Structure 1
Amino acid sequence: MAEGAVLYLLSKLESFVEIVVQQQREGHEEWMSLIREFERIKAFLKAADSMEECNEEVKVWVKQVREIAYEAEDLLDEYTQLSAQDHQTEGFLRMIQTSVRNRKARHRLISAMKSISPRIKSICEGQQRLFDGFGTTERGSSSTSSYEDNKWQDHRGDALLVEKSDLVGIEEPKKELVEWLVQGASQCQVISVVGMGGLGKTTLVKQVYDDPAVKKRFTVRAWVTLSPSSRTDELLSDMLRQVASSITKTLPSGAETSKSSCVRMMIKDFLRERRLKYLIVLDDVWDMNKWDAVKCAIPNTNNGSRIMVTTRKSDLVSASGTECAGKVYNMKPLSSEQSHELFCRKTFKEKACPSHLEEICRQILKKCEGLPLAIVAISGVLATKDIRRIDEWELVLRSLRSEIDGNEKLKNLKQVLSLSFSDLPYYLKSCFLHLSIFPEALVVERMRIIRLWVAEGFVERKEGKTLEEVAEDYLDELLNRSLIQVAETTSDGRVKKCRVHDLLLEIIIPKARDQNYAIIVHEHRGPWPERARRLSIHKAFQIARESRSLSCLRSLFMFGVDESCVVDALSSELNLLSVLDLEHAPVSRFPGQVLNMKCLRFLSLRSSRIRTIPSSIGNLQNLETLDLKDTRVIALPVEIAKLQQLRHLLVYRYENISYTHNKYGFKTPADIGALQSLQKLCHIEVDDERDGRNITGLGKLNQLRRLGVLRLRREDGRNLCSSIAKLTNLSSLAVFAFTDDEEIDLHHLSSPPQLLQRIFLRGHLRTLPSWIANLHNLVKLCLRMSCLRDDPLESLQNLPSLVHLVLLHAYNWQTLCFKAKGFMKLKILGLDRFEELEFIQVEKGAMPCLEKLMILRCKLLKDLPLGIEHLNMLKVLEFFELPCELVQKLKPDEQNKDYQKVAHVPEIRYAYWREQGWDVTSVETSVEEEGSRSQSSSRSNELPPCWK
């Protein structure tokens, strides 16, 4: 963990020395000395990171390094801030006064810096003592690790001994896995069972391994457990013994002491002999090298043999380059009913939960989120409680975090969940701990996380990639390790929102506090330490009025607070703050205190009530993200052009009136082309003649990935095309006309950015721009109010990557035909507001991957699409505001021939707009009896996806 802090400090020190010190020379030697000392320390931190958990001396040393790195960073930023004030001061007399005052402050900072040097030398001497006998320390560490690993092995043994009668919700996954093993192709297959720790992967696979049908199918079976510290030669020897004993073969002499390469050959020879079918289980695979080493010993006998792998890392098997085909089973948590059944079995010994404890038990189970290990472990604690003493049960619920930390019965749960964190490299540990700042059960947007990580300095620069792209790789790693859960995906398969399991939060929040990394303050939960680095306030009131210094605070987050709490917190001295996240904060005016935060890199006032941005925003020279989405801001001051570091500028909102979906952006008198670091610009309004320079200036933003332009006039189309052609990194483009009746002239774009993946156009096009049909990377296309003269399907149906297509009043169809072999990758199709449309035909072989079909506001469409039965992958069918004659054909009836065409679709919905809301009727396949239907009604103000 300290390695990240030191690396971040070193990058800042080097930049500082290069730019500022060369100009002023003051303190140059002191700063260079700091760099040299921290570079010495950095060399040892990677080794220390792996030893920190099990060696108290190393833990103390790392803490000292972290604290002094933070202190040096604070001094550095204070120094930089003072220099910036000298340059920004206006007026000769005021400049002299400021310069004198700041010079005194700089001398104070250099003195403080000099006082750090002996402390660093002392830390280096401590480092020398720790690592001089590194071999001894490493051996000691290994023995500690071995002791921990033995305990880990014991608990894996517990998972292998679980009785079938103690299991819940295992029959269906077991049945599916057994079928995968005993049926299917003769080619060797790798079957991976993937999921977070505690989901019961080992328990499930052991039940499959011992199934009679599996035993009968595979003559040779071997179970190998890959512990974190196990050696490859030991694993191979264990496998060899099991394989040999399966076919009653004695081991060749010297096999136990042979080299790994020889043992691999012996295993291969045994498994090839008589072409026997084998099943090899590799339990809890963590390390790619071990997996590759073991895999090399397993031949592809092409006779129906199987390899089963349990792992927390979903990318491990696919990345290994195995020649065997593969299937992946993603472990799911228990349902609420299954969780309740397991909980009652373990807590009340098969009896029902007492009525007076039902609410407490419900809240405890909610924390477990279907994790079997957690349910069993917490049940073990509760089983000892007096069911008459409701206060004892409430105490467990309130103090679950401390129970996990200190209760012996929950030690296994903590170890299993902590193992994934301990296995992380240092750069991912910082990122994962950062997620502790979010409240439990909160679903967080992917890009919010990525922008925060960049602003916090967690992301290392890599050649050829933006910081955001590197941060996305980090997020993918955490997802692949099952430490983050996907909560929502986009139509083209990208992660949109994610969250952390509540129990993992209970593990990482204490770690964040212990390392002074982040402090979480809940309502009525006491003060924070003096030198908090990051502070996240959850529903707290008047906390900031306590006499605590926040001068070292770098990041401040607020969730569910009232306006007085925001005012109190911001009234503190927060000059070094780099991240201020006030999303959904109840503020009506731009907080004036923010303008003094010269180190600020991330500012979010999303979903607040502010309306204006002061011109002093130009003082925030380090700002990288300005998020004003869903506020009432409609214009930005000319000073916005001063923010040369700005990478993400989000100023827009949606308004839904009836079922009309309107989008509003912002205007700026500044030349937007001055902001050449911008990657996302959404959404700029350009309906005024004075905005012509902004349209031309867009071409200067060569880092831009996402662009939104609203209220475009026809005469500005040529200039916009000229600018877009220069944006070679652009992946998403939204262009809305001045009004729905205005024409968008995009026909002058002869050379569009080839990385374009998503296009949203609203306004008359007349003819479809020819360049759209040549975008091989295009995955999503939305054409609204296009009023095309020619049928666009002929041009669009061959787009090789198109996944999501929305057409709203795009062409005046009476008959709409999707031809065979057209739209081969399309998964989502939305058709809206075709007032003359009477007939839809889907030829066999068209849209073979279609999963969701939405048809809306087509008042003459009275029949189901002809050929809809050919859409075998269809999962969701939605009809909104369609004639009653068509809706009647959706009602389940064995005699209804029209219904039989859509009987294979699991979910069918139809709705009508009634009194400012949708009356939605859902017809879904019953879970209890596949093929039967259940019908339910609901009311919603949400717009259908076509309008979003």
Structure 2
Amino acid sequence: MLYLGIYPEDYTIDKNDLTRQWVAEGFICKDRGIDPEDIAKSYFIELINRSMIQPVDTDYNGDIKSCRVHDMMLDLILHKSREENFITVMDDMQDMTGHQDKIHRISLNLDDATNDTAARSVQLSQVRTLARFGTSSQLLSFKLFKHLRVLGIEISGRPKSYPSLLDLTGICYLFQLRFLKIVTKGYQAVLPSKIGGLQQLETFDLACTQLNSYKGTQFPKLPSDIFNLDRLLHLAVPSGVILPDGIGNMKSLRTLGQFDLGNSLDSIKGLRELTNLTNLEINYDYSKSGDETAARCREVMHTLENLCNLKQLHINSYNDLVRSCLDVWRSVPAYFFHLQSFHAKYQSWFSRVPKWIGQLHSLYDLKLSVREVLEDDVGTLSQLPSLIHLVLHIRGAPENKIIIPGGSGLFPVLKHFKVLCRRISYLTFEAGAMPKLESLELDFNAKGWDRYGAAPAGIEHLTGLKEISAGIGGGLGAKESNRRAAESAMRDTADMHPRRPVANINVHGEWMMFDEPEEEEEEEGNGESSSSSSST
């Protein structure tokens, strides 16, 4: 409980970070056959149930993702921490001057650069946790912390000039380190060329804008010997980072993101060895030829068929070379039956909703970008017994009505439904459709509203609706009259609903991402071509 004092007042604490830090500190007693992280999460839930911490964010399945400590509780925690010398909280390096007791854990909140001479005069070798917050990018020398187990650095300020480097090369001396998380915006994190000595490391999370490319490499890369970290469980890196060959040796990994398809084919093939993976996020940021892209997609499909513990799979790309490349996946991989969250978005990885998705009975979160949605596609989705959250991005222009049927057992637990569609008027809800739906979100462009525009029919049949949202793209040469008409139609729809749901209608200057516009829509914008700046 006292460990919560390392976080600043009103800070939103991520559950995964906190529980992994507890494990790294050695607070969790190992119980044969039970994962220490699962034990830590049970303690987290117990603190929630006792109202000692307050839940903040929950996922679509109702699981609490983050928490906050009430101000009065935090005051009590910090008072007790000072009494027991459990945590030392400082807002300035000079606060270390004259510190007589051994410092076990430091929470340092720096908003300005200060002289770190005081830090060098204090014994810091026994510090087990260093939590660094604030806008300043100043860092203490990592060589001072010989027994550090938890290192968290969160720099909330942006650099005054670019490029601005954040020197993290000293982490290679932290041989007891178990948890590492770096959060920055605008800084280029500079990593050591080798970190194989960090044999205790379990979490390596770089939530940075970018990594610096060292040794003249073209793309940012991780240290060449990272695959020697046998105990690493969680690896998260920025999009576009290239992993060294040998990823298949990291057999303890449970979470991996963001793995880019720009990695070598050997690295992609190496993923199939990571059979303990439960969470995998794949991106494709690099431009390759169509043949290379197809080869990478094929290899990914072979790889995924070997990952027997996968619960979350997210695949993202803006590269149009990936269009429909997963259509060759004709049957559900045997190990996908445990999948709970599946995203394939931005580009249309599938031309239609794959039929095998209907067999994923544990799936509660689904985001799909497809070329078109036909009647039997809706039928496939309606049979999913656990589906709570559904996002459909329909990239092409519908030619026929998209009918959401009513009836017993269809969409039995769906609560959140988001649709991105060029012709939102083609969407129709029948009586009894989506009986548990609470939130409906419709994203479309105002352009072409005078030709095809109208609110979806049958929204009044959504008897449980509490909120209706509309994101209306007003860019790409949309007429002002179309913007006003679209906004008015959506507000009228919400006002006329018998439950009077909360209406969040927003007209913005961007536009939704769809495939090439139709000829008549191009004429409205004086021949402008379609580009995009919004997505699911």
Contact 1:713 1:737 in 2 (8 A): no
Distance 1:869 1:639, change over 3 A: same
1:534 matched residue in structure 2:
105
Task: Using the TM superposition, give the Cα deviation of residue 695 of structure 1 relative to its aligned residue in structure 2, in angstroms.
Answer: 2.1
2:194 matched residue in structure 1:
616
1:607-644 residue CA offsets vs partner (Å, 9 max, x unmatched): 25124432222222211111112330242132111111
1:684 matched residue in structure 2:
259
Instruction: Say whether 1:768 aligns with 2:353.
Output: yes
Instruction: Say whether 1:874 aligns with 2:465.
Output: yes
Q: How does 1:287-686 map to 2 (within 5 A)?
A: 432-523=1-92, 526-527=95-96, 528-539=99-110, 542=114, 544-546=116-118, 547-560=121-134, 562-564=136-138, 566=139, 569-570=140-141, 573-584=144-155, 588-607=165-184, 609-633=187-211, 634-652=220-238, 664-686=239-261
Match 1:695 to one of 254, 258, 268? 268
Contact 2:311 2:339 in 1 (8 A): yes
Contact 1:764 1:788 in 2 (8 A): no
Distance 1:891 1:722, change over 3 A: closer
Contact 1:640 1:670 in 2 (8 A): no
Instruction: Say whether 1:826 aligns with 2:426.
Output: no
Task: Using the TM superposition, give the Cα deviation of residue 605 of structure 1 relative to its aligned residue in structure 2, in angstroms.
Answer: 1.5
Task: Using the TM superposition, give the Cα deviation of residue 571 of structure 1 relative to its aligned residue in structure 2, in angstroms.
Answer: 5.7
- Structure 1: which amino acid aligns with 2:295? E
2:438 matched residue in structure 1:
851
Distance of 2:490 and 2:424 partners within structure 1: 19
Task: Using the TM superposition, give the Cα deviation of residue 510 of structure 1 relative to its aligned residue in structure 2, in angstroms.
Answer: 1.5
Q: How does 1:44-63 map to 2 (within 5 A)?
A: none
Distance of 1:753 and 1:877 partners within structure 2: 32
Distance of 1:891 and 1:751 partners within structure 2: 46
- Structure 1: which amino acid aligns with 2:282? V
Distance 1:499 1:723, change over 3 A: same
Task: Using the TM superposition, give the Cα deviation of residue 780 of structure 1 relative to its aligned residue in structure 2, in angstroms.
Answer: 0.6
Distance of 2:143 and 2:406 partners within structure 1: 66
Task: Using the TM superposition, give the Cα deviation of residue 687 of structure 1 relative to its aligned residue in structure 2, in angstroms.
Answer: 3.0
Distance of 1:636 and 1:734 partners within structure 2: 21
1:838-880 residue CA offsets vs partner (Å, 9 max, x unmatched): 3321112111111111111155453332221222221221111
Aligned residue pair count: 469
Instruction: Say whether 1:783 aligns with 2:368.
Output: yes
Distance of 2:195 and 2:147 partners within structure 1: 16
Distance of 1:782 and 1:858 partners within structure 2: 20
Contact 1:722 1:749 in 2 (8 A): no
Distance 1:437 1:768, change over 3 A: same
Distance of 1:667 and 1:900 partners within structure 2: 51
1:412-465 residue CA offsets vs partner (Å, 9 max, x unmatched): xxxxxxxxxxxxxxxxxxxx1111110101112222212212211222333443
Q: How does 1:6-85 map to 2 (within 5 A)?
A: none
If each structure's helix is expressed as a fraction of its own residues, which one has the higher value? 1
1:238-257 residue CA offsets vs partner (Å, 9 max, x unmatched): xxxxxxxxxxxxxxxxxxxx
- Which of the pair has the greater relative contact order for Cα pairs under 8 Å at 6+ separation? 2
Distance 1:561 1:872, change over 3 A: same
Task: Using the TM superposition, give the Cα deviation of residue 523 of structure 1 relative to its aligned residue in structure 2, in angstroms.
Answer: 4.3
2:325 matched residue in structure 1:
744
Q: Percent identity?
A: 28
Task: Using the TM superposition, give the Cα deviation of residue 903 of structure 1 relative to its aligned residue in structure 2, in angstroms.
Answer: 5.5
Determine helix, strand or coil for the equivalent of 1:726.
coil
- Structure 2: which amino acid aligns with 1:570? S
- Structure 1: which amino acid aligns with 2:12? V
Distance of 2:147 and 2:468 partners within structure 1: 53
Distance of 2:22 and 2:299 partners within structure 1: 36
Task: Using the TM superposition, give the Cα deviation of residue 730 of structure 1 relative to its aligned residue in structure 2, in angstroms.
Answer: 1.2
Contact 1:791 1:811 in 2 (8 A): no
5+ residue gaps, structure 1: 1-431, 653-663, 893-897, 917-942
1:121-180 residue CA offsets vs partner (Å, 9 max, x unmatched): xxxxxxxxxxxxxxxxxxxxxxxxxxxxxxxxxxxxxxxxxxxxxxxxxxxxxxxxxxxx
Task: Using the TM superposition, give the Cα deviation of residue 562 of structure 1 relative to its aligned residue in structure 2, in angstroms.
Answer: 2.0
Contact 1:576 1:598 in 2 (8 A): yes
TM-score (norm 2): 0.80
Distance of 2:376 and 2:486 partners within structure 1: 25
TM-score (norm 1): 0.47
Distance of 2:382 and 2:396 partners within structure 1: 15
Q: How does 1:170-209 map to 2 (within 5 A)?
A: none
If each structure's strand is expressed as a fraction of its own residues, which one has the higher value? 2
2:279 matched residue in structure 1:
706
Distance 1:776 1:480, change over 3 A: same
Distance of 1:525 and 1:590 partners within structure 2: 22
Match 2:504 to one of 875, 899, 909? 909
Q: How does 1:219-230 map to 2 (within 5 A)?
A: none
Contact 1:683 1:710 in 2 (8 A): yes
Contact 2:373 2:402 in 1 (8 A): no
Contact 2:419 2:443 in 1 (8 A): yes
